[in-house]
Amino acid sequence: MTASSFFKSAFIFLFLFSQNAVVLAQVVPVTSPDGRINLLVSTAGQISWQATLDGSIVIEKVSMSMTMDKDRVLGIKPIVKKVQVAALEELFEPQIPHRDARIESKFNEMTVDFKGSYQLIFRVYNDGVAYRFKDHSKKTTTVYGEELSLQFPEGAGSFFPKEESMYSHNERIYLHKPLTALGQDDFCSLPVMFESKTSKVLCTEAELHDYPGMFLRHVGNGVLKADFPKYVLKAVDNQNNSPDRNQIVEEEADYIAKVSGSRSYPWRVFMMGDDDRVFLESNLLTQLSGPSKISDASWIKPGKVAWDWYNANNIYGVDFKAGINTATYKYYIDFASENDIEYVILDEGWTKSTTEIMEANPDIDIKELIAYGKERNVGIILWVLWKPLDEKTEDILGLYASWGAKGIKVDFMQRNDQYMVSSYERIASTAAGLQLMVDYHGAFKPAGIEKIWPNVINYEGVKGNENNKWSSDVNPEHNVTIPFIRMAAGPMDFTPGAMANAHPKNYLISFDRPMALGTRCHQLAMYVVYEAPLQMLCESPTRYKKEQESVDFITGIPTTWDETLVIEAKVADYVLVAKRKTKNWYVGGMTDYTPRDFELKLDFLGSGTFSMEIMKDGLNADHHAEDYKRELIEVNQNSVVPVHMVSGGGWAAKIVEKIKS
C-alpha cells in the first residue's frame, strides 16, 4: 500500500551492554517529534512505561510481558543489551485512501534489545504511542499469554464497549462511565477510549496477523488487563441456535497462539490528544501497518452499493412479486444503473441454502443477473456465511469469480482467536488472487490487514443502521460517538441512507420497514463523516425513487478521500468535518440530541469561485425528522457559512469549483 517511503535516521544515543553489565539507565525517555508527548520506559524488575502530554500524566502505568513455551517469559527481570533511538520519517500513499491520499509520518523510535533473544520497539508520534514485542528465538512454538496492565490517573473515565462474551459480533454501545464504576471482570473489545481531566486515549492494535485479537478486562480499582481468546481445539455447530452460522467452542488449549520461531507481534496502540479532532484525523493505524501485498490494485474499485437486506426487498408498484428472485434483483440493478451506483449486494437468501453456497436459490439466475449488471455497469457482490466459505475457500471463490462477481460479503465470523484472525487473511489472499473485493460483516475491528490486502474494503464490527430493525439503540448520540472510537481503527460498514427518519416520540421498530432515529440530513451527513470505501445505500429502491433529491446528493459523494480536515468535534456530542477529493470539497455535520450552531469558515478552499450545494435540516425538522432544505449558493475562500442542526440533526454540503466560461 506504500507507493514510496523513505527514512531519515539520527541516532540520539546508543548503549551497548555485556550480559553481566549493570544497566546504566533503568528509565529511558522518548519524546514525540513535537515534544508534547513524553514516554518514560522503565526496565526495573518488569518492563513498564508512563506517558505524559504537555507534562500531564495521560497513562499512569503500562506494564507488559509475554510468556512463551511456559518457562520463558519476555519482559520480567529484563537485562538490557542495547538501546537505539532514531528519529524517522515515512511517506505513505495508500492504494485505497480512507482518510488521506498522502500521509507524512514522523516519529521517534526506540528499539531495546534484551538478553534472551527478544526486542521491544516503541514508537512515539505526535498523536500517540505504540509498542510491540519481537521474539528472535527460532525455538518458540507457543505463546501462553501476553500481559498488558493498564492504569490511568485517578478519576479517569471510559467509553466502554462492554462485551458479554468473546464470541461476539463486536457491535456495542459505548458506555460512558468512570473506570471505577466498571464491574469486576467487565471486559470490552477494541477500540476503547479512556479520558482524564486533560486528555483522551484510544487503545487498539495494529498488524494483527496469525495471533488472537486483544480484549481489555477490568480487574478492579480502575485497572485493566489484556485478555485473549484461547487457541480453539474444537468448535461444533450450535444445534440450538442457527447451526449454519453459530458455533460452540467446546475445547480450548491452555495457550493463546501457536507460532513457528521468530516473529513480530502486534502493535499495542495508544492514540492520544487533548483535542477530540485528533481521533478523526489520525492515520496512526495506517502508519503502523505493513505494506500491501497487491502490487497493482487498480482493479479494486471503491463505490456505493444498493443493498437489499435492511429494507427486506420491500419494493412495490411493480408488475412482479417482490422477493428473493431474478426480477427483484434486476429492479435493484436498474436502480443502481440509473443512479451511477457501482454495485448491488445479493444478501442472505440468494444461495440454495445458507450452507449450500455453490448453487443459487432456484428463483435466482445468478449468471443472468451478473451479466445483466455488467451490461449496465453494475457489479454484483455476493453474501456468504464464513463457516462454509472457510471450509472450501478456493473452490467457492473460484466459482464466484468465474461467474463474474466483483466481491463477497462474509458474515458471522464472531470470533477473535488465532484461527479466525488467520482465516480473515487467508480469505483475503485467495480473493485477491481472483480480483475479488471483501467486506467483512459480523467481524472484529480493522487491525491492519486492510492495508496489506487492500481488497478488504470494509468491515462491520459496529452497531450500525441494521439495528433499527429490532431496537432503538442506534440513536444520534451513538452516531456521533463511533467516528471517534470505532472509526479510528478503520473503515466501518454502518450502512447509512435511511429515508424513513424519526425522532424518539414517533419512532417505531419494524423488522421489515425500519426507520432511523435522527433527521434526514443526519443520515446524509454520514456519507461524508463515515469512512467506508464500499458504502451502502440501505433503503428500498422504491423509497429512493420518491426521494430523488436525496439520492442525487448521496451518489455525488466519493467513498475515498484525498484530504480530511476536522472543523469542530467533541466525542458523543457533535462533529463537523470537511473532506477533499481532487479539487472538490464535501462537508458533513452531525449532532446528538442537542441542537447546534457553527460558523463554517471556507478558508480551506483554494482561490476561485465555488458552487456550494447544501442539504440542511428544514424549518420543521425538529418535529418532522424528514424535513430538509436544499440550497445552492456561490462561495469562495473568504466565505463564512452558518451551520444549524436541530436535535438529532445534520448538515451536509458539496463544494465544486465553478469553471470559467
What is the count of structural domains for the chain?
3
Please provide the average confidence, as pLDDT, over all residues in the chain: 95
Share of the chain above pLDDT 70, in %: 96
- The reply to whether 279 and 308 lie within a common domain is no
Does 12 have pLDDT greater than 80? no
- The reply to whether 216 and 317 lie within a common domain is no
Task: Go through the chain and tell me how many residues it has.
Answer: 661
- The reply to whether 79 and 24 lie within a common domain is yes
- The reply to whether 269 and 358 lie within a common domain is no
Exactly one of 135, 205, 439, 466 is catalytic; name it. 466
- The reply to whether 256 and 320 lie within a common domain is no
What span, in angstroms and rounded, lies between the C-alpha atoms of 20 and 23?
9
- The reply to whether 378 and 496 lie within a common domain is yes
Under the banding of pLDDT at 50, 70 and 90, the label for residue 377 is very high
- The reply to whether 28 and 95 lie within a common domain is yes
What value does the mean pLDDT take over residues 52-80?
Answer: 95
pLDDT of residue 239: 96
Digit-coded pLDDT (tens) for 161-200: 999 999 999 999 999 999 999 999 999 999 999 999 999 9
In-domain check, residue 1: no
Digit-coded pLDDT (tens) for 633-652: 999 999 999 999 999 999 99
- The reply to whether 376 and 253 lie within a common domain is no
**The three grid cell numbers given for residue 66, joined into one nine-digit string:** 509475554
Which residue shows C-alpha cell 480473515?
A: 424
CATH of the domain at 605: 2.60.40.1180
pLDDT of residue 71: 85
pLDDT of residue 661: 62
What span, in angstroms and rounded, lies between the C-alpha atoms of 216 and 218?
7
What value does the mean pLDDT take over residues 20-46?
Answer: 82
From residue 417, alpha-carbon distances to 135, 410, 412, 470 in Å are: 20, 17, 14, 29
Does 23 have pLDDT greater than 90? no
* Cβ–Cβ < 8 Å for 409, 466: no
Query: Does the annotation count 93 as an active-site position?
Result: no
CATH of the domain at 117: 2.70.98.10
* Cβ–Cβ < 8 Å for 573, 566: no
Under the banding of pLDDT at 50, 70 and 90, the label for residue 9 is very low
Does 4 have pLDDT greater than 90? no
Digit-coded pLDDT (tens) for 383-400: 999 999 999 999 999 999
- The reply to whether 278 and 317 lie within a common domain is no
pTM for the complete prediction?
Answer: 0.95
Query: Does the annotation count 411 as an active-site position?
Result: yes
Give percent helix, percent strand, percent coil of the chain, each to the nearest 5. Answer: 15, 40, 45
Digit-coded pLDDT (tens) for 294-308: 999 999 999 999 999
Exactly one of 113, 347, 411, 626 is catalytic; name it. 411
Instruction: Give the 3-state secondary structure of residue 126.
Output: coil
Domain ranges, residue 484 = 303-560
* Cβ–Cβ < 8 Å for 174, 481: yes
Does 284 have pLDDT greater than 90? yes
Digit-coded pLDDT (tens) for 315-354: 999 999 999 999 999 999 999 999 999 999 999 999 999 9
- The reply to whether 262 and 311 lie within a common domain is no
In-domain check, residue 6: no
What value does the mean pLDDT take over residues 444-457?
Answer: 96
Digit-coded pLDDT (tens) for 223-247: 999 999 999 999 999 999 999 999 9
In-domain check, residue 293: no
Under the banding of pLDDT at 50, 70 and 90, the label for residue 273 is very high
β-pairing, 56-68 with 142-151?
antiparallel
pLDDT of residue 26: 79
42 contacts: CB under 8 Å, gap ≥ 6: 26, 27, 48, 49, 50
